[in-house]
Structure 1
Amino acid sequence: MKYAVTFAEKHGGEEQSTLARQMARTKRRAKLQALALIAPLMLFLVVVLVLPIGTLLARGFDNGDAAALLPRTAEALSAWNGQDAPHEELFAALAGDLKEAAREDVAVLAKQLNYHDAGMRSMFLKLARKVRTAEAPYAPSFIEVNEDWSSPRYWRALQQVMPSVTDFYILSALDLMRDENGDIASVPPSTAVNLEVLARTFTVSASVTVMCLLLGYPLAALIARSRGTAANVLIVLVLLPFWTSLLVRTSAWVVLLQSRGVVNNVLAWLGMIDPEAPLDLIYNRVGVVIAMTHILLPFMILPIYSVMKGIPPVYMRAAASLGARPLSSFFRVYLPMTMPGVSAGCLLVFILALGYYITPALVGGPRDQMISYFIAYYANQVTNWGMAAALSIILLVAVLVLYVIYNRLVGIQRLRIG
């Protein structure tokens, strides 16, 4: 009997071990099948999203191949302290490199130097043409093109473009620069514009978020309380703007808000304004906020509505039966329960507003353009990919910082609105 029990226990343990191994293999097989199903999607996202964005952001630190184009100059500048007057070895090194460099490469380098010292592009191209026929000593030929070649000014600009990795664009995006000693300092006030643009972007985005919340919350509550056909009609009206192009909706606001537009004409007809002095509603901050609020309002309504739809009405009736007044019931019972939807809507609207480009460009004035306008300007008009990437990095980091702060204060888990 003792041996029978021992035999049964032994074989029972072996069966349990075998069953556990089979279950583990089944789980691994299911995980591999799931990975195989999402692998094409992940590959697609990496190819069309991660790699292009990563390549663009890397341009914010890319300083080009100036050292490979001007090897003698790079070696001579490495031995120069950046303070003393340039010597003949520097002139000879740069002249020798320019004689051997291709004209197309010199043009690219001249454009890059112009970022460090405005006006240097045309002067450097002129210098490249002159030194091709010059003979030693080269210093007089350089000074004949521009007297500042006898000072450290232009040599410092050359020294800055030699490293393959640079912080020049990131510092410029924050209105900073490196002074003659290599220390970080503020740029002159006349050229400090990027921080103002960044502050304007966050101000407009926050204003639009607040307006969407003030308009969207009561409308979402109205839809959640409606029944049957009324609720369906309201939902369709909220979704209707998605069926219209963003450009068409923005252009419509130009027609509505202009000095002789629909809004001013109606107000004048009602006697609320002087027909000869219409309200200034377009090509300014007011027009930008109005148009962006209209476009982004559905993104605030839908998350709040989805949460309100799941709140049983019995809670408010229970609060009333316990003696709470309607206003007290709203603030102490209903509003806290809708906060996940409010948080989701505010975060969604704010992030979308940060990257708006078309609406401010059409209905805003010169001082109402947001950071996306300047990213497009550097990328498309002046082809300064370094500054476009740097501004993109600053915007991305700012959004991530706000996300971390939001998670600390509110908790990202509260965004679960389903």
Structure 2
Amino acid sequence: MSDATSTGPMLAADGTPLKRSLNRALRAQKLRALMLIAPLLVFILVTFIAPITDMLFRSVENQIVSDTLPRTTRALEGWDHNSGELPSEDVFAALTYDLVAAAERKDHTRLGTRLNYETTGMSSIFRKTGRRIDDFGETYMDQFAEATPDLAAPETWVTVMADPGWRADYAAWEAARAAARETGRDFDRPPPLFRLKNGVADILPEAADVYAEFARIAQVENGDNPAEEEPWAPVYLALYRDLMHVGPGAIERLDDASRATLAPAHDAVAGFQSERLADLYLDADKGWGEPAIWSTIQAFSSNYTPGYFLASVDLRQTADGVAMQDEDRRIYIMLFERTLFMSLAIMGACILLGYPIAFLLANLPLRTSNVLLILVLLPFWTSLLVRTSSWKVLLQQQGVINDVLVWIGLVDNANRLVMINNQFGTIVAMTHILLPFMILPLYSVMKTIPPTYVRAAKSLGASNWTAFWRVYFPQSVPGIGAGCILVFILAIGYYITPELVGGTTGTFISNRIAYHISSSLNWGLAAALGSILLAVVLLLYWIYDRIVGIDNVSLG
């Protein structure tokens, strides 16, 4: 063999360098392994990671305020909420433009519902104002129609505001649609979206902005031609405000058609009868006279907010910062404490009841333990609702348990025990429901403990208690750990059983989460409460790992 061959790279059977061939084989092996676990990864992403991510996003998302009231939130940046005075007319005008568009899209009620979570009464304010916002500006609309009759025609507004290119595109689109109808062909091409004429927004900023939104809503939401629809009354309000501030020289910079329409209107606005927008809002609802309403809009104008998390710990966000909730609304810290206490109590009760049962099952003959194990599994074959309802029958004051206690003389008939619709009823019912989740891990671990260890301890002089405590019990700790984790995590998230038997003092934080999801529809607060509950569980899991060690947990 030549020197060149002896010093060259080692080759595989197919003539390729061995290192490259090995790398290719390893990549193929990793790809096959990835393909095998891909379904599980997709399942975890879809059913676990994605919902948790969405929950975390909802707990801080607040875009509805800035998206629905973009002009108002910008105008409120310069308002001092500590002044005790209402915002300026500019803010009221911005709110008018935002609200009329929101009312057309039916978004004002959703906005009112969102802000009502922070300040009671705002939902009603937005609903009532939304019904009347179309009238704001009618005074100016009538005066413009009298001074410049052309402004009463929708086509005139298109001439003043619309880009000539858009008008040509729209005419071509209408012609194509008409041709399709004549030939019976389907025509699903959307119309070209309205575009403003160059330069008009510089001279008439408010009117151009509001009219453009009117035209786009007319096209997108209603499927109408802006040239055939009369503008909103607030559009005339915006035109009045623009013409009051613009000089005649600016009007001269417009094209001939626009100048011919707007020059007479500009000359006439000085003699118009004006009206205060603040008075219109106060007529719609007196709540607009409260600075707290405006302060709430200002405080929640950003796209993201800590408000939901603050509310979850009995705090609230204000324009001045974080403050305590009113005393009658401080419930969540108490619910978290109650949930942790009762979950730990249920876990402890399951240990006390489940350990002897699991020990008995593990040490009885196989045939007998199998029969008893069926009794342990029997609750899984019964509806949760039936089991919970049965406890209501057993524990109520006229129920079976109270009747037996009265019959044997332990309880006076006039002083029957109250064991339902309180914490006791919740602990009893949930202990019964979750007990199998403690017994099964304990039984599976105890079954693997060799009985010879205990016999050997006794042969060396240990008493029954010493042999159990020093030899048997340490080996059963992994089963206790597994059972505790299962029972505690299941208990802390339960809401059906506490709802049925807990009354007002035995409900969990999960019941409040379910209420916000299904009844109040405050999904942001529900997501924040769920995120805090998840964080508490993870924290306790970490503490458990530090004290006991998760490696010592076993399901047998």
Shared fold per TM-score greater than 0.5 = yes
Which piece of structure 1 moves more, 129-138 or 24-33? 24-33
CA–CA separation in structure 2 for the residues paired with 1:215 and 1:10: 75
The change in CA–CA distance for 1:23 and 1:275 in structure 2 (over 3 A counts) is farther
**Residue identity matched to 2:116:** N
Aligned equivalent of 2:118, options 116, 119, 125? 116
Aligned equivalent of 2:291, options 142, 148, 152? 152
Cα contact 2:70–2:98 (8 A) shared by 1: yes
Cα contact 1:306–1:341 (8 A) shared by 2: yes
Which piece of structure 1 moves more, 277-286 or 130-139? 130-139
* Deviation (angstroms), 1:127: 2.7
Deviations 1:236-292 (A, max 9, x none): 111111111111111111122222322223333333333443322211111111110
Q: Partner of 1:129 in structure 2?
A: 131
Q: Partner of 1:89 in structure 2?
A: 90
SS of 1:386's partner is helix
Query: Which protein, 1 or 2, shows the higher relative CO under an 8 Å CA cutoff with sep ≥ 6?
Result: 1
Cα contact 1:131–1:141 (8 A) shared by 2: no
CA–CA separation in structure 1 for the residues paired with 2:103 and 2:282: 23
Q: Partner of 1:47 in structure 2?
A: 46
SS of 1:178's partner is strand
The change in CA–CA distance for 1:307 and 1:18 in structure 2 (over 3 A counts) is farther
* Deviation (angstroms), 1:109: 0.9
**Residue identity matched to 1:101:** A
Cα contact 2:441–2:480 (8 A) shared by 1: yes
Cα contact 1:209–1:350 (8 A) shared by 2: yes
The change in CA–CA distance for 1:21 and 1:252 in structure 2 (over 3 A counts) is farther
Q: Partner of 2:439 in structure 1?
A: 301
Q: How many aligned residue pairs are there? A: 414
Cα contact 2:296–2:319 (8 A) shared by 1: no
Aligned equivalent of 1:238, options 362, 376, 382? 376
The change in CA–CA distance for 1:150 and 1:278 in structure 2 (over 3 A counts) is closer
* Deviation (angstroms), 1:32: 2.8
CA–CA separation in structure 2 for the residues paired with 1:400 and 1:117: 33
**Residue identity matched to 1:239:** L
Cα contact 1:208–1:293 (8 A) shared by 2: yes
CA–CA separation in structure 2 for the residues paired with 1:366 and 1:284: 7
CA–CA separation in structure 2 for the residues paired with 1:395 and 1:385: 15
The change in CA–CA distance for 1:148 and 1:15 in structure 2 (over 3 A counts) is closer
The change in CA–CA distance for 1:180 and 1:102 in structure 2 (over 3 A counts) is closer
Q: Partner of 1:350 in structure 2?
A: 488
Q: Partner of 2:360 in structure 1?
A: 222
Cα contact 2:59–2:309 (8 A) shared by 1: yes
Cα contact 2:116–2:123 (8 A) shared by 1: yes
Q: Partner of 1:410 in structure 2?
A: 548
Q: Does 1:365 align with 2:503?
A: yes
CA–CA separation in structure 2 for the residues paired with 1:18 and 1:271: 93
Deviations 1:83-128 (A, max 9, x none): 3332222122112222333251111111112111101211232233
CA–CA separation in structure 1 for the residues paired with 2:10 and 2:71: 77
The change in CA–CA distance for 1:190 and 1:30 in structure 2 (over 3 A counts) is same
* Deviation (angstroms), 1:392: 0.7
Greater Rg over alpha carbons, structure? 2
Root-mean-square deviation over aligned CA pairs: 2.7
**Residue identity matched to 1:175:** D
Q: Partner of 1:170 in structure 2?
A: 309
Aligned equivalent of 2:409, options 247, 267, 271? 271
Cα contact 2:9–2:17 (8 A) shared by 1: no
CA–CA separation in structure 2 for the residues paired with 1:275 and 1:148: 55
Cα contact 1:95–1:132 (8 A) shared by 2: no
The runs of at least 4 aligned residues of structure 1 exceeding 6 Å deviation read 9-24
Sequence identity, in percent?
A: 46
* Structure 1: tracts of 5 or more residues without a match: none
